[in-house]
Amino acid sequence: MKLPLFIALLLSAFAAFAQTDYPDPPPFTGVSEAKVKVEANWLLLPMNGGERYNKIKITDADGNTVFAGSVLLADGNAQWHAPVDVSKFKGGEITFSYQTLTKEPSFRQVDELGYTDHSKDRGRPTFHLTPKFGYMGDFCGLVKVGGLWHAYFLFNPYAMTPHEPYFIAHAVSDDLVNWDYKPDVMRPVFSDGAAVYPVAGSAFFDKNNKSGFFDSGSGVILIVEKSDGSTVLVSSEGAELAVLSGLGGKSVGSPSLSYLEKQKLWLVVKCVSSGGSNVVEFYTSRDLSNWKLSGSVAADMPSPTLFETFVSASDTKKYVLWGGGGSYLVGDFDGGNFRSDFPKPARLFYGDARGAQIWQNVPSGRILATARVDQPGDLMRDVGQSFSQSASIPWELRLADTKRGLRLRASVPQEIVGHFGRPEDALGIPQLQFRSNVFSLPEAVGNNFAVVFTFDTSELVGFSLRAGVAKFGYSKISESYEITRIETNKYAIKATDPRPDGFTSAMIFLDTYSAEAFFLDGSAVLFMGDSYLNPEQEIKVGCNGEIFVDKVSRIPINRVSPEQRAKAAQAVVDSVNKK
């Protein structure tokens, strides 16, 4: 007998929780100390996502704080080892204080942090960027330099949920699918027992060295806000270039830095809280030293970025003020004031998108945006993972002149399409028609692929596309997108433009712990941060009213693209020919 949907989902949830190997850890009973003789550059702390957060403190021989924070310290089986730089104390002794565990934690010391291929980890997504371990926060810069894509993001290697202090991590890719981890760009600095660490940032590609910070050519500048309230410019290696002042209060999200060629002005755009509401402020400077407030827009748009782009199929250029949650305004900018064509922000991203930033220095003037997909970190711990949060795939944005006015439209960029495999039928029958029900797709079971649906919405009140515990829906009555997790409605967000009746095509990207639903007309991208590793999860179509499903395709997404395979094969041939 087929179980009711709600009960089946609950059973799958309990099954996911049952995957964990962790009983409830015992409570702490006091504070312990361990004396550690420093014999190498790095002290590796044993971490386990199933442990309680443990308040630790590391001090040098003079009692100065080397590191302090709440960490997932393990006294037994370590899932990963998180490094602390102790190179300054090599040959000496440090004191490690921690809340008492059942036994003393086992430390390791190494002179160099070795390379690990984390793509082989259990449950690691196939085509999304994740932290190597620990917690991934919002982005601090996305930029392409030469043939490599560079992603900078807040990172805590000792936690699985938002916890201070933060680092800025650095990852690189040549195809936006496969990522390598580079050394951290910024780490917490402790003074008088208190930590100063990065809390927000973004990147700017300084073409032709307008800042004068580089010896020659071009370079990457990160604008970073710190926990002490300061704003600094740093290089891509973490060297401090300048301290900025006169930029108002603390940012909501991240500030952005750009250069206005026409006006020969530097521009910082940031969102701040003012009088109980959020405001986007524009600051300008000719020398990166003297800044003035030149304009503002009353809009709740954390992590704002301003960019200029052509309207598709025209010679007209407009400015877009982009917010990190996926909202935007279109208008004109005179170097100080932004005049919006919209009475209020429109929206392109819906759901669990956080801190979405625009990639800098993308060739051919293309606009790409990537968000962090917010995931339930505690549940990631419960299913036995060693990392939490992931990036979305990059989404290519264009400005289109539609019947309802200028709108941003999203599409899958060529870098991701190049990794698509051969589409396979996922419907199992020529066509499908049913009324007010949910239908499972027998040929679309599993994870780490994309599913494309084509269906007629003319006779519907609403519809939903379901993957595991995630459900993406649309209600014609409220004209809202509805995003649900285990039958709990997380979001019901009014659509910028109501969906039209008729045939609709949508695509869902599934990659282990997140799902992204995209309507192929480009009008909306919906995000769900999931937490269940379920290789047997079913893909379903649901409706209120009568639906006609014309076609469903399953598209594998491969780590290695056909072009990369061809290059590798040619390299082998060339090597043989040389011999």
CB atoms inside a 10 Å sphere around CB 226: 20
| Whether the predicted pLDDT of 485 surpasses 90 | no
- The residue among 355, 323, 356 whose CA lies nearest residue 340 is 323
Residue type, 546: E
Two tokens, residue 82: 């998180």
Q: Is 184 left (phi over 0), alpha (psi -120 to 50) or beta?
A: beta
> Is 461:530 a contact under the CB 8 Å cutoff?
no
Whole-prediction pTM: 0.92
| Whether the predicted pLDDT of 542 surpasses 50 | yes
What does the longest C-alpha to C-alpha distance in the chain come to?
76
Q: Could you read off the pLDDT of 15-74 as tens digits, one per residue? A: 343 344 445 666 777 889 999 999 999 999 999 999 999 999 999 999 999 999 999 999
Using CA atoms, how far apart are residues 453 and 466, in angstroms rounded to an integer? 11
Tell me the average pLDDT of the chain. 91
Using CA atoms, how far apart are residues 400 and 389, in angstroms rounded to an integer? 32
Q: Could you read off the pLDDT of 373-402 as tens digits, one per residue? A: 999 888 889 888 999 999 999 999 999 999
Q: Could you read off the pLDDT of 66-120 as tens digits, one per residue? A: 999 999 999 888 999 999 999 999 999 999 999 988 888 888 999 999 888 888 8
What's the confidence (pLDDT) of residue 575?
64
Q: How confident is the model at residue 1 (pLDDT cuts 50, 70, 90)?
A: very low
Using CA atoms, how far apart are residues 42 and 85, in angstroms rounded to an integer? 5
CA distances 21 to 16, 25, 122, 135, Å, are: 11, 11, 14, 20
According to DSSP, the β-strands at 387-388 and 134-145 are parallel
Using CA atoms, how far apart are residues 394 and 366, in angstroms rounded to an integer? 12
Handedness of CA 408, 457, 343, 328 (dihedral sign): negative
Handedness of CA 326, 143, 168, 134 (dihedral sign): positive
DSSP E strands, 381-457: 387-388, 390-391, 395-402, 405-411, 424-425, 432-435, 438-445, 449-456
| Whether the predicted pLDDT of 121 surpasses 70 | yes
Using CA atoms, how far apart are residues 349 and 356, in angstroms rounded to an integer? 9
Two tokens, residue 162: 């938002």
CA 159 to chain centre: 17
Q: Which residue has the tokens 């089986």?
A: 77
DSSP state of 537: P
CA 480 to chain centre: 24
Two tokens, residue 407: 């709108």
Lowest mean pLDDT among 317-331, 406-420, 478-492: 478-492
Using CA atoms, how far apart are residues 181 and 168, in angstroms rounded to an integer? 12
The average pLDDT across 341-370 equals: 97
The average pLDDT across 271-293 equals: 95
CA distances 171 to 131, 132, 180, 355, 374, Å, are: 9, 9, 5, 17, 19
Using CA atoms, how far apart are residues 50 and 264, in angstroms rounded to an integer? 53
The average pLDDT across 319-334 equals: 98
- The residue among 399, 397, 355 whose CA lies nearest residue 373 is 355
3-state secondary structure of 41: coil
Phi/psi at 170 (nearest 5 deg)?
Answer: -140, 125
What's the confidence (pLDDT) of residue 531?
65
DSSP H stretches of helix in 29-114: none
Two tokens, residue 347: 């929206």
CA distances 424 to 19, 346, 427, 451, Å, are: 31, 35, 9, 9
| Whether the predicted pLDDT of 562 surpasses 80 | no
3-state secondary structure of 344: coil
Using CA atoms, how far apart are residues 331 and 317, in angstroms rounded to an integer? 10
> Is 412:347 a contact under the CB 8 Å cutoff?
no
Which residues does 280 contact at the CB level (< 8 Å), separation at least 6? 269, 270, 271, 296, 297, 299, 301, 304, 321, 338
What's the confidence (pLDDT) of residue 566?
67
Two tokens, residue 218: 């071009």
| Whether the predicted pLDDT of 430 surpasses 90 | no
| Whether the predicted pLDDT of 280 surpasses 80 | yes
SS percent in the chain: helix, strand, coil, step 5: 10, 50, 40
Handedness of CA 126, 131, 132, 135 (dihedral sign): negative
Using CA atoms, how far apart are residues 49 and 47, in angstroms rounded to an integer? 7
Q: Could you read off the pLDDT of 205-252 as tens digits, one per residue? A: 999 999 999 987 899 999 999 999 999 999 999 999 999 999 999 999
